[in-house]
Amino acid sequence: MVLKIKNNKIYSTDGRLIKVISCPKKVRAGDFKDVSKPVFHCNQCSQDVVNTDFLSEENIIDLLKDNLDSCLSINLMNPIFEEVD
Amino acid sequence: MESSFSGGPRSLGNKRQLRIVETTYDVDRLNAARQNGLQILIITMSKNPALMLRSLLLKNKDTREIIQVSGRMVNRQYGLPPLVYSEKEWELVYQVNDYARVRKNEQNWGAYILPERVGIGERLYIADLIEDVMATAFWESVWYAADGIAEWNGTDLIIDLHEYDRFQMIG
């Protein structure tokens, strides 16, 4: 199963929108020293950012079911994601 | 041939339809552009430490199998525990030094030809980036930037490295 990303939105394989990737503070990966850790803290919103490098597709869907506002770090080179135009 | 740990080139694309900087490695093309009144910039190539790749060639002491791995501990996805190649089981054959970008030739310079009448502050698209820039990385693999977006400051093209942040989204 691959999660599709289009225009900053994540869709499940069946085409269901599961998350809009949007940061109100416009933070970038380069702003964090510990971006390669499974979870890292963002001081801008005092919220933890979950690094999806360590998760499966199912883990991500489950995480977002419980908390749609979970903040994610998504590497587009991760084969569980496919960026589509 | 690219290293096992090179992801290869990664492109941003010209999604904003910026004017395009031409890249050439040919001195005749460079002179033709200059004679047509176009601004040229000669760029010397240099290695980027971020694109240097190190890996290990290991041999299993029992089976004599030889493997190439990024290190003695290799992270895995899906929350799986890392793979560990202990010194007790795996003998180091060779420490491999490699580079993520392989060029077609050994020429150490290239040049950009700017479009006509570029204004200071104008952002331009470089479809064939001469400089060695790391676009992104995932686990042990590194991708080099095939293209770039740069701002003309009147003297140089300043590559906007933040453009590559799009490969790692946060939100």
* Residue B4 banded pLDDT, cuts 50, 70, 90: confident
Give the closest of B79, B141, B170 to A73, CB-based: B170
Closest by CA position to B170, among listed A34, A56, A1: A34
Residues of chain B contacting residue A71, judged by C-beta atoms under 8 Å apart: 170-171
> A71 to chain B: nearest residue by CA?
B171
Dihedral sign, Cα of residue B13, residue B16, residue B17, residue B22: negative
What is the separation, in whole angstroms, between the first and last Cα of chain A? Answer: 19
User: Which residue in A32, A61, A77, A84 has the most chain B C-beta atoms within 10 A of its own C-beta, making it the best mutation to test that interface?
Assistant: A77
Q: A8 and B79: CB-CB below 8 Å?
A: no
pLDDT for B144: 97
Q: Chain A contacts of B169, Cβ < 8 Å? A: 5, 8, 21, 72-74, 76
**How much of chain B exceeds pLDDT 90, in percent?**
85
Residues B8 and B143: their CA atoms lie apart, in Å, by 5
What integer is the mean pLDDT of B29-36? 96
The reply to whether residue A71 touches residue B136, judged by beta carbons under 8 angstroms, is no
Residues A53, B139: C-beta atoms closer than 8 Å: yes
Q: Which residues pair with B10 in a beta bridge?
A: B145
For B49-63, the pLDDT digits (tens) are: 999 999 999 999 999
pLDDT category of residue B3 using cuts at 50, 70 and 90: low
Over residues B104-146, the pLDDT tens digits come to 878 999 999 999 999 999 999 999 999 999 999 998 899 999 9
Which residues of chain A have a CB within 8 Å of the CB of B141? 77
- What 3-state DSSP class applies to B169? strand
Among chain A residues, the shortest Cα distance to B9 is held by A77
Residues A19-73 have pLDDT tens digits of 999 999 999 888 888 888 889 999 998 999 999 998 999 999 999 988 888 999 9
Does position B1 have pLDDT exceeding 70, yes or no? no
Which residues in chain A touch residue B136, judged by CB atoms under 8 angstroms apart? 75-77
Q: Residue A63: what pLDDT?
A: 93
Structure tokens at B164: 């590559």
ipTM comes to 0.91
- When the pLDDT of each residue in chain B is averaged and rounded to a whole number, the result is 94
CA separation for the pair B83, B61 (Å, rounded): 17
- The pTM of the full predicted model, rounded to 2 decimals, is 0.86
Pairing type for strands B52-60 and B83-84 reads unpaired
Q: Give B96's strand partners.
A: B55
CA distance A31 to A25: 11
B169 → closest Cβ in A55, A59, A76: A76
d(CA B160, CA B153): 12
Tell me the CA end-to-end span of chain B in Å, nearest whole number: 37
